[in-house]
Structure 1
């Protein structure tokens, strides 16, 4: 049996079940009933707190009599508990300390920087009260975020001490309103001070372009290294609560070559021999390139869909192959078209009217549309999913054409809601 831990999506569990494998999904208790109803083809069990070692021990005791072949993280949120559960079951194939390196933003930056790869300067703190001192040390402005996970929660660009005080007064680092119950299982629901692993403070970089790269290795053999460019810097999109998106680049273009080189170097620094990783990189106004973030495991579903449309790669199947220690069989689509996606960001609240998807699919280059709704995790930004973002995938003869088509189609998709704020600030 394969046990898949996931917070907000079921893609990987679906992949195992689709192969006829005995599959069990371990999900937040708050999502258990919905997952059972939506996917009756395999077993589901609930967990209240992914960070509670005693609860993981309980799960291990329940699983011990079964023939468990592997325990796999279905999203980045679950990498650490999946590793801990493998250890409790005697299935350990990577140590918890190594997984901690790959799931803790501060530790990742330390290891990557130690290999001579440029990153923004950063410090780790335990409390919001320590942020001002670090800001004075690094120099204002700074970026504040949880060390582990977060998906955009509590991320703030802080201009100076007075702005920090204003953000605290406005509740920017306090528990957001309307947070779904399932996120409390991650320890993210009680404010930044209580987030697992502590707080990361970084020197802010004036980002001109931001990129991502998807790298897959099997026993040191590179199977693919695919670069993409975000439509706009992620921090800007998060802070301004606007949609995001990205475009796959010509892998031989100058920017793509730099992105791929830095991604491979970061993977080497992290000791990745087998696995799928997602690296985010940025080019600043000073012309310097920096590695921004790094995470392993099954990628965000919207990125997975982007690769499927462009190259015909089923990433859920690929990650399932890796979990069974098989060399993934990848057949590349040789079409030369470029693919881009863009998100549709409605206001929070109950939807009362929306543009029909059929009219959006009539726009030039549109391949697929995903209607705005509250549902499973489909993006790289948790706030987009909580607000029910929709997505448009477009093709073009060049990356720029695909990007402009996706942005135009997303902008034309109108969604009206009765305002129900998620944030308290």
Structure 2
């Protein structure tokens, strides 16, 4: 049985259920995948997950595998189910001396010229095929076999790169690709069939044959592509014979296969090609849903050496299945303008892109609208497929990646804290806004590009964002800096195909328990912790971890309910405080976290993450007050690269992002500089709050808000600093609970070195000091200077100049 299984995975839909195929508790199962494809993986059960930009990037995959080997040991099995990943997986098996298909086994199944030669030698009918290194070889082939001819990559998939050449002029004008070996083949004007199933190593197991409606090549030029399973017994007998002969000639062991055949008008069958993998499009779904056989499970069994429970001979199916792909009306990239599904009796399942979604191509999975059918006969299913062919449409508008684009902000926050951010966006890109209330102070920045939507309703907010993007010909983007909207905004971006941190990564950041577990599993320096549900469990956890401990809710914000507790009485009170705390717009999660107290100064690190690369934008030293609570009373952004902890901090922050699966977006990570080194407190999937992005701009010249906009638009952010000074914010608090009567910042704003003096509490505001109130601040004072001492002196003078009065509360 396998011990450390490495799975290379790229699908974003539920094509494979690895947790059902492999016991993740009994074996170490790790994944090499992409940010988008990790969505349906059993991340919480995995031994490790490493993200790469693409599984086709062999260098990145190998580097990620090296990291897995260092942590978990060498792999004992390697699994790859998608055709484009088969070659690298075979190479890696050879390098680690593992069972399964090696490169030599795979070669005649991936190189279509060698495949044709091997089948021809075995007496199996194939179209005339030859190498095509240049125009002369293609012209000579056409002279021998006639035209039209097809020129195609020797190693290709999904009909990509295939050209049909009908005339000598077309042959002479054909441009050979520089990075691919090509072959030339006779074009046959016959019906194309496909056969999907299992080769047991001794013969055919379960298999089904289908007839394409149109062809894969026509699909690449914008035609719909459909398929219907065959119920003609005599034809199926002959298909079974050629399928058995083909698999026996090419396979060296058990494998799932996808075979394509030509069927002439007179009944002759000719092999086009065969792949050592499950069929694409909707084939894995209809096998699972209609026939009760999971081809992905069979493929995993073959590659891990476990039992294949599907490998029974093909019986007459109880039902006939079919599928249909409808491509967009415009070349990708394009934005969906309207989706027309079907009329009357149609598919039993459909996958439709959202109106407003960006389509950028990328295989059958992302090719447009997808439909699945079932019925009692081929004729019945074909009729339903053709009805849907006639009725379904995916109307799209081209997108020009070179235009400036439009960015939709979801939820805007309070003007004192976020007006500078919205102004920065409006200076850089056409900005729009969706929020739950009518437009107010934001109008100068967004004009009429505004929608009211219930931001607690993801579907309604998605429609509002799509409506704001619909009229723009350029790229679209979505962004939020509202803690309460992080997960829903990430889901909106997923539905619309926009660059963004994934919903899963956003959820891991929001759930502090998930953060701790993932950091611990990845051995990223953090705090020891326990999840508790009662006061007694909290007391026991504090004893185990060693007091003092920090007691906090799982998923709130603004340090609400976070308390440092020493003696048992303090722990009990801290538990009740955390369990009873709430934050507007955030639903609490089960349990309270008790964790080790990390001593040392606290810093926050804002990072720009683009294509998986984590770059630090600025570092802020946090000022805390109102002990034993963790109220943030100020922040200082200062030069940091000379600090003795700088290199280790960068490494810890990068590893934390890797562990949480963050490859896109602006993040805000909080750490403690402990005697044993930097340790992570939490990672937030958003811009820093409390004016920290503004401080970063003042101190370095790099605007984190502009960087967030660039990343949201899919563009590399500009992160080169043009200055290196200090900027600090200090928040002014009342001395006691009270209601604000007056606030005057005139004198404070006039102090030299003060760049902003921002009122935060209007007359009539009721302020309750921690832990009773949420950030009960009177004002924010922002200073710049050459040194931290300069900023502190300026802020001392400005704070003394603040004039305010309060009515004490009973």
Residue 201 of structure 2 is aligned to residue 199 of structure 1: no
Question: Do residues 394 (structure 1) and 400 (structure 2) align?
Answer: no
Give the match for residue 405 of structure 1: 384
1:267: how far off? 0.4
Query: Quick one: higher RCO (CA 8 Å, sep 6+), 1 or 2?
Result: 1
Residue equivalent to 1:367: 348
Aligned with residue 113 of structure 1, among 112, 117, 120: 120
CA contact (8 A) 2:132 2:184 kept: yes
CA RMSD, Structure 1 to Structure 2 (Å): 3.2
- Contact kept, 8 Å, 1:12 with 1:320, in 2: the verdict is no
Q: 1:298 to 1:364 in 2, by over 3 A?
A: same
Q: How does 1:14-413 map to 2 (within 5 A)?
A: 14-16=17-19, 19-21=22-24, 22-27=28-33, 32-36=34-38, 39=41, 40-41=43-44, 42=46, 43-46=49-52, 50=56, 58=63, 61-65=66-70, 66-67=72-73, 68-127=75-134, 130-166=137-173, 168=175, 192-195=177-180, 198-207=181-190, 209-220=191-202, 222-238=204-220, 240-250=221-231, 253-285=233-265, 287-300=267-280, 302-330=282-310, 336-348=318-330, 349-355=334-340, 360=342, 363-372=344-353, 384-385=364-365, 388-413=367-392
SS, match of residue 194 in structure 1:
coil
Whether contact under 8 Å (2:301, 2:307) holds in the other structure is yes
Q: Per-residue CA shift, 1:50-90, capped at 9, x if unaligned?
A: 485x6666455434443423111120111111011111122
Contact conserved, 1:311 with 1:333, CA < 8 A, in 2?
Answer: no
Measure how far apart 1:101 and its partner are: 1.5
Q: Which runs of 5+ in 2 are unaligned?
A: 402-810
Q: SS of the counterpart of 1:193?
A: coil
- CA offset digits 1:130-151 (Å, max 9, x no partner): 5334333432210111110242
TM-score by length of 2: 0.43
Q: Distance in 2 between matches of 1:72 and 1:376?
A: 29
Structure of higher CA gyration radius: 2
Structure 2 CA distance for aligned equivalents of residues 112 and 9 of structure 1:
35
Residues 1:64 and 1:92: Cα distance change in structure 2 (over 3 Å)? farther
Q: Deviations over 1:279-302 (max 9, x none)?
A: 100113464320001100233251
Task: Tell me by how many angstroms 1:129 deviates.
Answer: 6.7
1:13–1:23 contact (8 Å) kept in structure 2: no
Asked if the contact 1:306/1:393 (under 8 Å) is kept, the reply is yes
The 1:243–1:322 alpha-carbon spacing in structure 2 relative to 1, beyond 3 Å, is: same
Do 1:10 and 1:74's aligned partners in 2 also have CA atoms closer than 8 Å?
no
1:109: how far off?
1.0
Q: Provide the secondary structure at the position in 2 that maps to 1:282.
A: strand
In structure 2, how many angstroms separate the alpha carbons of the residues matched to 1:241 and 1:421? 19
- Please, what TM-score do these two structures have when normalized by structure 1? 0.79
The alpha carbon displacement at 1:47 in A equals 6.4
Residues 218-244 of structure 1 show CA distances to partners (whole Å, capped at 9, x for unaligned) of: 342542122111123333444x42111
Change (3 A) 1:109 1:152: same
In the TM superposition, what is the alpha-carbon distance from 1:19 to its structure 2 partner?
4.3
Which residue of the other structure, out of 1, 4, 7, is the alignment partner of 1:4?
7
In 2, are the aligned partners of 1:375 and 1:385 still within 8 Å (CA)?
A: no
* 1:416 alignment partner, one of 380, 395, 401: 395
Shift of 1:205: 1.0
Is the Cα–Cα contact under 8 Å of residues 83 and 92 in structure 1 kept in the other structure? no
Distance 1:277 1:284 in 2: 23
Structure-2 change in CA distance of 1:33 and 1:241 (3 Å): same
In structure 2, what is the Cα distance between the partners aligned to 1:47 and 1:90? 27
Query: Take 2:378 and 2:89, find their aligned partners in 1: how far apart are those partners?
Result: 37
- Mapped to 1, the partners of 2:359 and 2:69 lie a distance apart of 30
For residues 128 and 49 of structure 1, the distance between their equivalents in structure 2, rounded to whole angstroms, comes to 33
Q: Hey, what's the Cα distance between the residues in 2 that align with 1:201 and 1:96?
A: 24
Q: Note closer, same or farther for the CA distance 1:37–1:339 as it changes in structure 2 (3 Å cut).
A: closer
Structure 2 Cα separation of the partners of residues 285 and 20 of structure 1: 49
Aligned length: 382
1:23 match: secondary structure: strand
